[in-house]
Chain A
């Protein structure tokens, strides 16, 4: 009996690198930082085999710049980092958002703020991923909970970046980054790969930022004949800077609205046992695995509990969340931070629903017991 070649024991970080290549990534620019470095290490081994380029840049800022430069040239590109590096990438991330250059940024979260706890897991960058770069901008953030899901969501990140012409951020944490699990690659054999739409070189009067109707302008590949201008200044349909209020309003509403327009393709959720749930646990990443177990433990105690897990953190899947928590008395939000996604949950729950956080961010993952204990305390308070 021959072994299934598609079954592989992979570390989360390695799975991320392999999936990126599977998605068509052909340039990686990075800078060493714990606990994400294995992504760069894998890329340095794998990219030359497929004719791609790995480059270790002089710093995090340069890595982000090189990734955007490569993608502007038409090559799918990615970088990976962790907290301090993620902070440094924010300026160029905003440039990619405004110029609508697709790219993928992985943030393997560690304890913060500042240097914090480099080898310990955390989920402290949920709000930075949403609001980190200055000014109003579209944001797309994915949060897988397992090694196999890291593989799947990395491919999805590239596909969404290409589809929506936007940077996509993948957030996981040190635990998942270094976790080794079996991944069955047969699940991904027929996976569709999305490539951005390129402008036809014969198009007359091509406008690089015109809305073709779906909010996503068609990109011009350098060398194909449309000699366009790309700038981080607010620009009109022709790509050149403008301060005309009407043109700026038109541009910003398309930019901020384009992900909204594609919510159906963007949102990815995992909802379990929420139909009759009095208690809904909202969790993401590694914490959701503890929450899943906690749901089982609570059900054994006779508590009708459910799990709402957004794999797409931003934009937050509002409608699905409201449906899942419609009859809940209590929504619990365990997070390895002082309370970040809970702010979004509080904004969206109905008036009768109580919300409580389980905020443990001292270097260890949250356990199912800790979530159950919190649920018991809250239920006894009622």
Chain B
């Protein structure tokens, strides 16, 4: 019995490309925790690595996929959802998971995001939200909290914050969840639910960037940042947003929405088959 348990235990080394290590993420970056949670979910769901396709865009989040021992695609900035749409439509047998970031998904890729939600194709999208463009040196992003300092908000941020989950809900995503990297088991379970859902699943992962965001805002080391995240510092800063449409649901985490909207590819096949028979 013990050996069975040991065999089924999650061993991250079975899911990563060890020859690429050491990885290139900064000390304290939350993206590695998100990666571990994702791989743990893949393991628990018994997904065949050969059938797993991970599609990412550009930025720190875009580089995470390369460490996964699967079919990995590092695409262009903001376009991983467009690329994944073509891949999934062409190869419905593949489990297609998109890893994107707050800039990749909500700024340059915003149009693809809303239409991926609307179509409700069976994809899982993990948006690693670290509130900043880390790779390019710490510029303000659509999710940077109010008053935060970045290299392009030298006097503090004054732009309203985008609530990605609300956006996903408005655009029609079938499954929406949010979790912080601090709660790794909860994040793993949320990702499992997202992957299992038939339709477009959007998961906002509250990550942290100590190096170019935390440091500039005196938020301390990684541990302090994630604990502050838990205490809801973003909630407070979100609370300062006065524009009603941008007012988020605070720090609510877990499954935020689950609907049984028809999945795109199945609908496409069924609809055309019926019409062509007539």
Q: Do A and B come from one complex?
A: yes
Say which residue of A58, A92, A230 sits within 8 Å of B74 (CB atoms).
A230
Asked whether, in the complex, the Cβ of A67 is within 8 Å of the Cβ of B91, the reply is no
CB under 8 Å from chain A, chain B span 60-112: 66, 69-76, 79, 81-91, 93-94, 111-112
Instruction: Given A59-B111, A240-B20, verify A229-B66 contact (CB < 8 Å).
Output: yes
Residue of B nearest to A55 (CB): B89
Cβ of A228 within 8 Å of any chain B Cβ, yes or no, is: yes
Asked whether, in the complex, the Cβ of B71 is within 8 Å of the Cβ of A65, the reply is no
User: B88: which A residues are within 8 A, CB to CB?
Assistant: 69
User: A91: which B residues are within 8 A, CB to CB?
Assistant: 76
Asked whether, in the complex, the Cβ of B115 is within 8 Å of the Cβ of A70, the reply is no
Query: Could you say which of A72-80, A163-171, A293-301 contacts chain B?
Result: A72-80
Instruction: Given A58-B112, A92-B76, A225-B50, verify A77-B86 contact (CB < 8 Å).
Output: yes
Asked whether, in the complex, the Cβ of B70 is within 8 Å of the Cβ of A68, the reply is no
Asked whether, in the complex, the Cβ of A92 is within 8 Å of the Cβ of B268, the reply is no
Say which residue of A53, A61, A224 sits within 8 Å of B89 (CB atoms).
A53
Cβ of B166 within 8 Å of any chain A Cβ, yes or no, is: no
Cβ of B276 within 8 Å of any chain A Cβ, yes or no, is: yes
Asked whether, in the complex, the Cβ of B76 is within 8 Å of the Cβ of A95, the reply is yes
Asked whether, in the complex, the Cβ of A227 is within 8 Å of the Cβ of B69, the reply is yes
Interface residues on B, range: 35 or more
Residue of A nearest to B84 (CB): A69
User: A48: which B residues are within 8 A, CB to CB?
Assistant: 272-273, 276
Cβ of A323 within 8 Å of any chain B Cβ, yes or no, is: no
Cβ of B258 within 8 Å of any chain A Cβ, yes or no, is: no
CB under 8 Å from chain A, chain B span 18-70: 20, 49-51, 53, 55, 66, 69-70
Residue of B nearest to A103 (CB): B86
- Interface code A239-278, partner B: CB below 8 Å = 1, 0 otherwise? 0110000000000000000000000000000000000000
Asked whether, in the complex, the Cβ of B90 is within 8 Å of the Cβ of A53, the reply is yes
User: A75: which B residues are within 8 A, CB to CB?
Assistant: 90-91
Asked whether, in the complex, the Cβ of B79 is within 8 Å of the Cβ of A77, the reply is no
In angstroms, Cα B81 to Cα A176, docked, is 34
User: B93: which A residues are within 8 A, CB to CB?
Assistant: 223
In angstroms, Cα B74 to Cα A231, docked, is 5
Instruction: Given A228-B71, A240-B20, verify A62-B79 contact (CB < 8 Å).
Output: yes
Chain B nearest Cβ from A229, distance in angstroms = 5
Residue of A nearest to B76 (CB): A95
Instruction: Given A48-B272, A92-B79, A222-B71, verify A72-B111 contact (CB < 8 Å).
Output: no
Residue of A nearest to B114 (CB): A58
Instruction: Given A53-B268, A73-B94, verify A66-B83 contact (CB < 8 Å).
Output: yes
Residue of B nearest to A62 (CB): B82
User: A156: which B residues are within 8 A, CB to CB?
Assistant: none
Asked whether, in the complex, the Cβ of B111 is within 8 Å of the Cβ of A230, the reply is no
Residue of B nearest to A228 (CB): B71
Additional A-B contacts beyond A66-B82, A222-B50, A222-B53 (15; CB < 8 A): A55-B86, A58-B115, A62-B79, A62-B111, A67-B86, A69-B55, A69-B73, A69-B90, A71-B90, A73-B90, A95-B75, A222-B51, A222-B87, A230-B72, A233-B74
Give 23 pairs: A residue, B residue, CB < 8 Å, sorted on A: A27-B89, A65-B86, A66-B83, A68-B83, A69-B75, A69-B86, A69-B88, A70-B87, A72-B73, A72-B86, A73-B90, A95-B76, A222-B51, A223-B51, A223-B91, A223-B93, A223-B94, A227-B49, A227-B72, A229-B73, A230-B74, A232-B74, A240-B66
